[in-house]
Structure 1
Amino acid sequence: MSGDHSPDTALALAEKLSAEFAQHAAKTDEAAAFPAGNVQRLRETGLLGLLVPSSYGGMGLGLAELSQVARVLGGGCASTAMIWAMHCQQVATLVRHGDERLLRRVLPRVASGDCLLASITTEAGKGGHLLSGLAALEEDGDGHVLRRDAPVVTAGLEADAYLITMRTRPDSPPSDVSLAFVPREDAEVSFRSGWETLGMRGTASVGLTLRTRVSGEQLVNGPGGFPPVAVATLIPVGHLAWCSVWLGVAQGAFRHVVGLLRDPKVRSARDRSELAAHHLARARLKLDTAAAFLQACLDEYVELDARTSAGEGRFSDVAFQLHINGLKVQVSETAFAVVDELVSIGGLRHGYTRSPGNPLERAFRDLRAASLMYANDRLLVANGQLALLDREIRLPGTAGADGTTAFFARTGRDA
């Protein structure tokens, strides 16, 4: 897309779209329908290309803008915002690790709105272990045959292309994982299972079966190259993007309740009570705390990304892993807790009632999914083990013994 691609312009565009999306959010939720109209607006406005470099026709913006836009969109429609955030996670992965030939082929399509990307990392039988694979690529001449069953794929039947994790060869260990780029038009894609959930009902996260053939250039970062891609980009960018959406959903719910309390037509003596003020203060404090942690982790990741001298191993620093895993846990739990607090303020009539004009119960159901997306229990177990290695207890924004910020002070061990 041509035109002004400044951060302010992107944010203003997001605010306009968020207001539009909010008008249809209740219907999207009720029908558990993919928000096709919303995604079309993301396509035609160029927001699918937010992270695509300007040299490929994109907006050329960064993770700070991704986070801001995700929060704004989350306040309008959680499902649409998550579809967009996960698409951007895949775009970041391609931009940072894709072969130049692949980038020239794909990124202009993304920038023009012609390519919505989806991620296929889930696989029955591996228990959510992102860095392992069961289904294997099979060599076929100068390429590979890819056969994959996936139980959950966000926007699975609506995506234009996929990034798919595969075991590199039939005789490879599960830890030898490749990441394949697969255009929808080049694959046989069939429906396996539907999506009927408590919340996030518009993400259309269906089960799929895919069969296709891929060339060497379609393997992002080469054969077996997925683990460093995941540690350096897919996981941290994903956590930053997801957390931004969840925080945006909670912020939207908070604005709704503040509007109720300020509206003389609906407020009551109870609404103006000290108890309501107490709940409101706690909800705001939780929002501010989560936002501060998100910004700290975003700043640290951007700074870490700029330091190339340590190589890819720098992303495995113990303190950084603690921070980025902890961010996902903290924001997913806090955003849900904020909406729970807001339901208490609204009471039965304005908090617990289900109606198109009340986003609280929808936000409550949507945010219940947050702790289940790459389950918090798994991340907490990992962080408990990592905490034993971080003897300096390097908190976000603090300095290590050598004067570098938090996770640049090396322990000599990778996570």
Structure 2
Amino acid sequence: MTIQHLHAGVDAAPDSAVAVPVEPALRALVVAGIAAEHAEAVDRDARFPAEAIAAAKAHRLMSLFVPAEFGGEGADLAVVADVAYALGRACASTAMIFAMHQTKVACLVEHGRGQPWHDDLLRRLAREQFLLASSTTEGQGGGNVRSSAAAIEPDGTHVTLDRAATVISYGAEADGVVTTARRAPDAAPSDQVLAVFLKEDYALERLSGWETLGMRGTSSFGFRLRARGLPAQVLPVPYQAIHAQTMTPVSHILWSSAWAGIAAGAVERAQAFTRQAARGAGGQLPPGASHYGKAASSLRTLRTLIAGALDRYAQARGDAKALSSLDVQTAVTMLKVEASELAVATVSSALRACGLAGYRQDGAFSIGRALRDILSAPIMIHNDRITANLAATGLMSTVPASLRD
């Protein structure tokens, strides 16, 4: 299934969804409106987008991925991606928080369902609209999410985790944290599990601040996480499988959808500026009109890229062998690299289309916030790290001898 919004032109009405269930799409537009209203304050004050997330909870967007049997929407990834796109047009921080939360929910649904504790968590999430944070980076490892220092340790009938996280985005505002860890104190750093701790299970000690160029509202402070819970709170599936089959494809698709939304918002402003300038000049296009054309074209390419990834994931979902294949892993991994670079190029072209009006921080055509936010995309798990890892993996594979191999 693909998304109508990802194929529609910039001029398409935002509620003209056909391939997306109408009710979630309309609710997303309401939440996006609230997010847009507070986006400047969220950015200026570097604060959590409390109003937008409260609206998302009130409109039951937090449980979109949760199966209907547990009280959720049972939506597929295309619907959730479309919501991330709509939110990205309004407030980048809100969109990224939504994308990170939904990635964690997808991991629970795909790899925890059928386990009593996790089934109960899914019911509570749907009922109480929990917001789940992610803790996958740690210490000096930074963006290497496939290596953990802290381990799950037995403590009588419970388990504990003491983890110094490089960042836990919106950790202080979350209702729970989904975190990677070594399986046991004697396990290798790459022998990881995924565990879920609810707010009553842990304490956070702030270790670092979050004074950044963009994405300021994600509140991605560094924390020391001290948690204690039941062994059942650790997912039974090795994190290696979760990472390949769900974490990477879902996060890269949802991040890319949020970035595409940011880019679409910038293109929309560039379009409005170009039209206004042309009207004021008797139909003569302004000098930056060619840059608007580039922005609109690269946005179409970006959305087509995401739509292709959605189709690929939908075809492979549930097939562990297919999801773990080199072709699929390379495609979903490179989606992040290609989408982030395209999104930056799109916003940059939109800025040049608007000229000084886009460069200014005030005014209806300002592109400044979108540019600052989108510059985080290539360095959020650095693209250089991703391409280097892919190069190492590719050395172990055979170069195809024909187009049909």
TM-score by length of 1: 0.88
Q: Does 1:143 align with 2:158?
A: yes
- Shift, 1:201, TM fit: 0.4
Q: Does 1:40 align with 2:47?
A: no
Write out aligned runs for 1:72-111 (5 A): 72-98=86-112, 99-111=114-126
Write out aligned runs for 1:4-403 (5 A): 7-98=21-112, 99-222=114-237, 225-263=238-276, 272-273=285-286, 275-306=287-318, 308=319, 312-348=320-356, 350-355=357-362, 357-388=364-395, 389=397, 391-392=399-400, 400-401=404-405
- Structure 1 pair 40–32 and aligned structure 2 pair: CA distance change class (3 A): same
Amino acid at match of 2:66: V
- Point out 4+ residue stretches in structure 1 off by more than 6 angstroms: none
- Structure 1 pair 169–357 and aligned structure 2 pair: CA distance change class (3 A): same
Q: Which moved more, 1:120-129 or 1:50-59?
A: 120-129
Q: Is the 8 A contact 2:274 2:353 kept in 1?
A: no
Summarize deviations over 1:165-203 as a string: whole Å, max 9, x none.
111111111111111110011212222222110000001
- Shift, 1:356, TM fit: 6.3
Structure 2 segments unaligned to the other structure (5+ residues): 1-19
| Secondary structure of 1:50 counterpart | coil
Q: Distance in 1 between matches of 2:398 and 2:56?
A: 42
Amino acid at match of 1:353: R
| Secondary structure of 1:171 counterpart | coil
**Count of residue pairs the alignment pairs up:** 384
Q: Distance in 1 between matches of 2:116 and 2:380?
A: 33
Q: Is the 8 A contact 1:152 1:206 kept in 2?
A: yes
Structure 1 segments unaligned to the other structure (5+ residues): 1-5, 402-415
Amino acid at match of 1:342: A
| Secondary structure of 2:149 counterpart | coil
RMSD (CA atoms): 2.1
- Shift, 1:264, TM fit: 5.8
- Structure 1 pair 277–357 and aligned structure 2 pair: CA distance change class (3 A): closer
- Structure 1 pair 335–393 and aligned structure 2 pair: CA distance change class (3 A): farther
Q: Distance in 1 between matches of 2:121 and 2:204?
A: 20
Q: Which moved more, 1:382-391 or 1:210-219?
A: 382-391
Q: Distance in 1 between matches of 2:296 and 2:280?
A: 19
Summarize deviations over 1:347-366 as a string: whole Å, max 9, x none.
11x11001264451000000
Percent pairwise identity: 36
Amino acid at match of 1:383: L
Q: Is the 8 A contact 1:271 1:345 kept in 2?
A: no
TM-score by length of 2: 0.90
